[in-house]
Amino acid sequence: MSNNMYIARSTDPAILEKAESGGVVTSILKSALENGIIDGVVTVRAMKGDRFSGVPVLITNPEDLIHTAGSLHCSLPNIPRFVKEYLEGAAKMKLAIVGKPCDIRAIIELQKRNQIETDNVTLIGLNCTGTISPATARKMYIQEFKVDPNSVVAEDIDDGKFTITLEDGTTKSMDLKKLEEKGLGRRENCRRCLFNIPTFADLALGKWGTEDIEEAGTFVEVCSDKGRSLLESAIEKGYITISEPKKESIEMRAQKDKMELEHAMMWRERDFNPLLEMDLPDRLKYWTEEFSKCIKCFGCRDVCPICYCENCLLEANREYLVGGEIPPNGIFPLTRLAHVADSCVGCGQCQDVCPMELPLSKLFTLLNSKLSEVFDYVPGIDREQRPPTTVARDEELLIDDTFLRITSAMKKSDETETDEVAMSGK
């Protein structure tokens, strides 16, 4: 094997029947588990067959993997937090973890903060152009597609269309843009997402580039030595077969990626420009009004894969800044913003859970894009690059911009807090 790109296909008919494309993800995982290369797999499984409630699962019995094959577009599993919270950050097991680009990027950010092991983990990335919240999906199926949500057995997003497959094998497609104009379709953060092919994982797998081949296949890009050895082992042991992709297939994949990036930039301009065009007092007024709606339910903090401090300074017993105050006077979301904005991966989980419908991921992504420009730092794509606010020089934090000033202020408060914690020995 000398190239980095392949079209691969499972040799297992049962996996092929259930899989999304060539069954390669499931087969590679099976090969790694059955041959003792890893101790466990972290992936996603639909609870009791309900496609809208996929949850992260740890699988150690290879026979159980078949139940995880296929893609769930209307489930929002929090894979990074599952690994960090429930699997001790992979400290005790060698794991292969399957995830979309935002999942993989969050895991990499957590690895930089020593919250998830690096040596024990192999990252299996899936291409992605978006997920749909389960509630929106159900509404969209009833209202627009005129079908029973429980009769949908598969979804797909491709070439600007959202397509569903029903139990009887029939398919129905609708224009994604039109659905999104009505507030349906993909989650807001997914529309703005700039990462479709997770080349920062060890393997990046997807459908793009397989459209013209006769039998279903999975396009595989090898992104690291770890990824290569997992793939080679699955080939040697007969779990998958591979062939070289045609030049046209590689071009088609790149073309689809480019097209999706253009769409995402269009959504970014549409969502961000009205905010950026406001003068400073109006911008502050807008965010202050939004923040004042916060009821301090802690949902956004608890769900965010990047929030990891054990002694969170937002807790009621920490008499600092917000302390036990209810309502929390807007400082609550601002403090979180200052803590994670440099490393926000735009996963949208915070906005999904906010009961007051604060446009959290919009703000975090906007600030993150600003910080990325200033610090030349894109979260979750390079393990060696440190998060900027942990290494930023004072003069960088004093650049004249409201967003940066907030970060600077919060960083200083945080240092004071860290000093206090150090002094109190907590």
Ligand X SMILES: Cc1cc2nc3c(=O)[nH]c(=O)nc-3n(C[C@H](O)[C@H](O)[C@H](O)COP(=O)(O)OP(=O)(O)OC[C@H]3O[C@@H](n4cnc5c(N)ncnc54)[C@H](O)[C@@H]3O)c2cc1C
Binding interface with ligand X (CB under 6 A): 19-26, 43-44, 54, 68-73, 75, 77, 98-100, 126-129, 131, 157, 205-208, 218
Rounded Cα gap, residues 325 and 329, in angstroms: 8
369 binds, among ligand X, ligand SF4, none (CB under 5 to 8 A by kind): none
Q: 200, 364, 375, 403: which one contacts ligand SF4 (CB under 6 A)?
A: 364
Which of 149, 185, 348, 388 contacts ligand SF4 by CB under 6 A?
A: 348
- The listed partner (ligand X, ligand SF4, none) that binds 408, CB under 5 to 8 Å by sort, is none
206 binds, among ligand SF4, ligand X, none (CB under 5 to 8 A by kind): ligand X
Q: Which does 403 bind (CB under 5 to 8 A by kind): ligand SF4, ligand X, none?
A: none
Cβ proximity to ligand X: between 208 and 308 the closer is 208
Residues 127/220, Cβ–Cβ less than 8 Å: no
Q: Which of 25, 353, 371, 410 binds ligand SF4 (CB under 6 A)?
A: 353
**Can you say whether the dihedral through the CA atoms of 347, 353, 356, 357 is positive or negative?**
positive
CA-to-CA dists, residue 18 to 10, 70, 131, 324, 384, angstroms: 11, 6, 20, 51, 38
How far apart CA 346 and CA 379 sit, in angstroms, is 10
User: Among 305, 266, 309, 275, which Cα is nearest to 403's?
Assistant: 275
User: Which range of residues in 148-156, 209-217, 304-312, 409-417 is near ligand SF4 by CB under 6 A?
Assistant: 304-312
Rounded to 5, what percent of the chain is helix, strand, coil? Answer: 45, 15, 40
170, 92 contact by CB (below 8 A): no
The residue among 217 and 305 lying less far from ligand SF4, judged by its C-beta, is 305
Instruction: Choose between 15 and 107: whose C-beta lies nearer to ligand SF4.
Output: 107
Q: Which is nearer to ligand X, 41 or 397 (CB)?
A: 41
Positive or negative, the Cα torsion across 82, 85, 87, 91?
Answer: positive
Toward ligand SF4, which CB reaches closer, 27 or 71? 71
Rounded-to-integer distance, Cα 294 and Cα 330, Å: 7
Among 5, 295, 309, 312, binds ligand SF4 (CB under 6 A): 295
Residues in region 99-128 near ligand SF4 by CB under 6 A: 100-102, 128
**Nearest to 131, CA basis, from 87, 79, 170:** 79
Those residues whose C-beta lies under 8 Å from the C-beta of residue 16, and which sit 6 or more positions away, are 9, 10, 22, 23, 216
Calpha distance 129→150 (Å, rounded): 23
- Chain position whose Cβ is nearest to ligand X: 206
Cα(114)–Cα(109) distance, integer angstroms: 9
298 lies in the binding site for ligand SF4 (CB under 6 A): yes
The interface with ligand SF4 within residues 42-101 (CB under 6 A) comprises: 100-101
**Within 191-250, which residues bind ligand SF4 (CB under 6 A)?**
193, 195
The DSSP result for 390-417, as a single string, is: HH--HHHHTSS-HHHHHHHHHHHHHHHH
Stretch that binds ligand SF4, among 54-62, 85-93, 272-280, 346-354 (CB under 6 A): 346-354
Residue 300 lies near ligand SF4 (rule: CB under 6 A) = yes
Query: Dihedral of the CA atoms 106, 112, 116, 119 (nearest 10)?
Result: 120
Could you list the residues that contact ligand SF4 (CB under 6 A)?
A: 100-102, 128-131, 189-190, 193, 195, 294-300, 303-306, 332-333, 340, 344-350, 353-356, 358, 360-361, 364
